Every structure is written in structure tokens, then in C-alpha cells.
Structure 1
Amino acid sequence: MGYKTILSILDTQKTAQQVTDFSIALAEQYGSHVIGLHCEAVAGIPMMAPMEMPDPVAVQAMQDLAEKETAKIAEIFSHASQREGISSEWRSIATSVGSTDFLIDSGRCADLLVVAQGDSGALSEGRSEMEAALFESGRPVLLVPYILKTPKPIKRVLIAWNGSREASRATFDALPFLKQAEAVEVFSVVEDHNEKTSKIITAAEIATTLARHGVNITVTQEEKGELAAAAHIENRLSDAGIDLLVMGAYSHKRWWEVLFGGVTRTVLDSMTALTLLSR
């Protein structure tokens, strides 16, 4: 079992090399076919007075810049793929903000999506639309943090477990990683005795199920106390030298901004390890 089709989301030239390198590393590990995908988008059309008509010069300039970036990203992906001799293909589409069907359709036909960590704080409109599309695909998304510039083996994995549907889905979506890891930890943050008892039971059960797959698994818990759940997760990532965090993603859309649940969004803004998300 492995990720045989990887969709590499190359949204900017700044992160294209990083995402390509991580996608290729996974392809070499699992014998995957990698699809490099770039959506060329212009967020708005400049207007000019007095008639508030589209400014053709500005529109053409923006289009030229977008096309140049697309060509550079395509070159980065093509060069790396050919150098490593992996099975690959390139896809690009010119879209306006809100046109996400192409990304969703492509995502739904892949085993795994790989994308760079977004800018922390307020999301841009384009990035928000992209994140919405990624999670509408129904496929696991592997986020690569800023600080990881070079792929390395995934030896230690932390599953952020709360017994939810999303956490369960992320766990099973991560099975190829879990089975090859040296150590996997099911980690829960609990608030009171009733919740603690419930999470002990479900955490133990998911650990037993994973053990049947040959996963080297342990179960740990932390009482929430004065720290937020996200802080406990971040501390555990650092203390245990975690290479991959697995967690459920929770989102809703308000206007054009995509907001994740508090724990998910906080972790994504300050992530230090590869993070696999499913919802």
C-alpha cells in the first residue's frame, strides 16, 4: 500500500522547488506518478476612470506576469522530474478567483496532495480559495512547513487524536507513512475525567487497530490545564522530535476566507513538522 498518484500543488514560484522536491522524494519511496499542478489566477481586474472600464494595459501586464511565473514553475518541476527520472506530468490552468473545480477534480483523483504551508495570519483571497478546494477534494493533504527545505525520512509520527471522524480519516489516510515509521504515537489532550475516560478507550482501540497493520504504536495523554490544545501538540512535536503530524482538519467558509478550527489553524500557522490533514 502506498501513494501511487501524488498531486503536487505548485501555487507560487517561491515554494515550487520545495514542494517539487518533497513530492519527488515520496515518489521515489512509493513508486508514484507525480502530477505538477499550477492554477494561474488573477484576483481582480484594474479599472480606469471616468467610465470605470477595464484598463487593457494593466490587464495585459498582469496576464504577462502570471504567464511568466507559470513558465518558471513549469521549468522547475520539469527539470527536477527529469533529473530524478520519475513518472510525471504537468498541468496548468488559467482561472479567476472562485474557479476551483479544476483543482477539486484533480485532487479527487489523486492518492495524496502535497502543498506548501500558507502564510501565517490573514490568508490571501487566492490562497483561501486554494485551501477550500484542497479540502473539498476529500483526499489527504500533506503540508510542507517553511522551515523544512530538504526532504528527510519520516521516522517518528504523532497522531493528534480526539476520536472525531476527521481524526479517524486522517489516521487511516496516513497508513503508508505509519507502517514505515519507526515509532507512532497516538496523542490526546483531555479536559475532564469523563473526556479522559472516553479518549483513553478510543485511543487504545485505534492503537490496537494500527498494531494489526504492523505499526509500532504507543498511546499518551496530556491534561489540558492552562495551555491550549494546540500548545500541547506543538510542545509534543518538539519534545519527541516528530517528523510527521497527523490530524483532522475542520473548516467552514465565511465570505472568501477559510477558517480552520482553532487547534488546526494555530498548528498550521506555527507548524514545525510535515503535517497530514484529512476531513
Structure 2
Amino acid sequence: MTLRSLLVALDATPANTARTRIAQALAQAFDAHLIGLAPVTSQAVQSFQTAAAMDGYVAGAATALLGRAEDLAQQFHLQCRDAGLASFEAVADREPSPDTLARHAQAADLLVMGQPDPSLPNYRQALKDLEDLLLTSARPVLLIPYTHLDPLHVRRVVVAWDGSRESVRAMTDALPLLRRATHVTLVHWRADPADVSAQPALASLRQWLAFQGVEATVRDEVTALAVGDALLNAASDLGADLIVMGAYGHARWAERLFGGVSRTLLQSMTVPVLMAH
């Protein structure tokens, strides 16, 4: 199992350049084909629809939106050419994200996205779009923090396991990256010090990872913190370059009402996170 085709989402945010460079570096490392996709954002669609309704310029608004996406795609094409990538393409799509991202991601092994920036005016819509994408994407999503400007290093990885299908899916999808890491830590959190029921499963997962060429250290942690906060603390304590986790193991309405690991990481991630639903 390796990465042969990567898809990176292009946008007009300040973090786009760093995200694009990370995707290019991954494509070079895995000798993979890289697709840069510039969709029309939901926020832009809403803004232009409002303006078009007022002024009656529906066709002009649609053309302007597509023109923005085409500019981003052209910039990406030139960047890939200058970086010397062997195989790449740039696509501008008139359909709004996240639907078009999920559709194009079906033909890729990994989708590279950016964490929404809370300082930007369309933050709430961008966060909703990302949540929708995570729930509908058939492929894993690598999220890059909007503050992350450095290259992606995959030396120390924290893999969060909670017994869910989503966490095992993420672990499996991350294998190409885990095999390149020097330290992999498989972590489970529990509130009850006496509850050691997860330890046999953790031992089996450690053996399965070894069969896949990944040597992992197992930690069964007792914590009074919310799991999302415990995960962020563990990533900091271990000097992690990457977090691997399942996305939305519970219903999204429950996460929104009561909080959850996925929402905590989407809003507060400090290192890149690979998620799979």
C-alpha cells in the first residue's frame, strides 16, 4: 500500500502556499501524481448569488467565480512545473466545495486540505464545509493547520485509537506515512483506572502494525481530560509531527451539542492531522 495519486485543495487563503508545497513534497517523496483542485467555495457562491440577485448579473457572477478558480489552478500548474514534479495536473471546477472535493477525491489516495482560519470572515462556512467533506469523503484527509508554514515531517506520529471503525480506518489509511516514521505511538485514553479492557485489543493492533512494517509503542492512558484535549497534550509531550485519528465516530449532532474529539482537533490542531471517517 502506497500513495500513487494525491489531491490538494486550492483556495485564496494565506495558507494555500504552504499547503501546496506540502502536497508537492509528498508527491515527490512517493513518486505520486498530484492533482490541484480549485473549486468554487460555498461562501463565494452565496455572496455572488446575493449580488447577482440584486443586480441581475447571474451569468457574470458565475463567470467571475470560475475565473477565480482558473487563476488558482494556473498558479498551481506553474508552481508544480517550477518544482520539477514528474506528474501533475490542475483543475478548476465550477461546482462548490465540499461536493466536488469528495467527488474528485474518489480518484486519489489522499486529499490534502487546510484547517479553516478563524480570523477569516467565512470561517463558520469553511468549518461546516470541512465537516461535510470529512463525512462524505471516501478517502482519508490530511489537514494542515493554517499556522503551519514548515515542510511536513513524518518522524513522530501519534495514532489515536478508541475502538471505533473510524480509528482503525484512519490507521490503515495512514500506513504509507507510518512506515516512514521513526517513532509511532498508539494511544488509548480511559477515565477509569481499573478498566483495562482495551489492553488486549491494543496488543493485537500493535502486532498488526508490526506485520505492516510499523513498530509502535502502546500507551493506555488514564485521564480526566476530554479526549480531544488529552490527544493534543500527548502530541505536544511526544513532539509529534502528525496525528492520525478517526473522524466523527459519533453522530455529528452529538459532537456539536456536547463537543467531541473531531471538533476539538478541527478547531485547535497544532500539527497536521490525518482523519478518516
Same fold (TM over 0.5): yes
Query: Distance between the aligned counterparts of 1:103 and 1:83, measured in 2?
Result: 25
Aligned to 2:218: 219
- How far the C-alpha of 1:35 sits from its partner, in A, is 0.6
The structure whose residues are more often strand, as a share, is 1
For 1:55-90, what per-residue CA distance to the aligned partner results, in whole angstroms no more than 9, with x for missing partners?
235x57755653453244223311221012221111
2:200 matched to 1:201? Answer: yes
Structure 1 residues 60 and 130: CA distance shift in structure 2, 3 A? farther
Aligned to 2:229: 231
Query: Distance between the aligned counterparts of 1:258 and 1:191, measured in 2?
Result: 22
Q: Given the two structures, how large is their TM-score scaled by the length of structure 2? A: 0.86
Unmatched segments (≥5 aa) in structure 1: none
Secondary structure of the structure 2 residue equivalent to 1:90 = strand
Aligned to 1:43: 46
Unmatched segments (≥5 aa) in structure 2: none
- How far the C-alpha of 1:277 sits from its partner, in A, is 0.2
> Within 5 A, what are the aligned runs for 1:1-279?
1-41=1-41, 42-44=45-47, 45-46=49-50, 54-56=54-56, 63=62, 66-67=65-66, 69-86=68-85, 87-95=87-95, 100-120=98-118, 123-125=123-125, 127-193=127-193, 196-225=195-224, 227-250=225-248, 252=251, 262-279=260-277
Q: Is the 8 A contact 2:134 2:247 kept in 1?
A: no
Structure 1 residues 246 and 136: CA distance shift in structure 2, 3 A? same
Q: Is the 8 A contact 2:156 2:239 kept in 1?
A: yes
- How far the C-alpha of 1:140 sits from its partner, in A, is 0.4
For 1:150-182, what per-residue CA distance to the aligned partner results, in whole angstroms no more than 9, with x for missing partners?
213210000011111000000000001111100
Query: Distance between the aligned counterparts of 1:100 and 1:223, measured in 2?
Result: 37
Structure 1 residues 204 and 123: CA distance shift in structure 2, 3 A? farther
Query: Distance between the aligned counterparts of 2:261 and 2:28, measured in 1?
Result: 33
Q: Given the two structures, how large is their TM-score scaled by the length of structure 1? A: 0.85
How big is the alpha-carbon RMSD for the aligned residues of Structure 1 and Structure 2? 2.7
Partner AA of 2:76 in structure 1: F
Q: Is the 8 A contact 1:248 1:278 kept in 2?
A: yes
Q: Is the 8 A contact 2:244 2:274 kept in 1?
A: yes
For 1:15-67, what per-residue CA distance to the aligned partner results, in whole angstroms no more than 9, with x for missing partners?
3212211110100110010111111141152269xxxx54235x577556534
How many equivalent residue pairs? 268
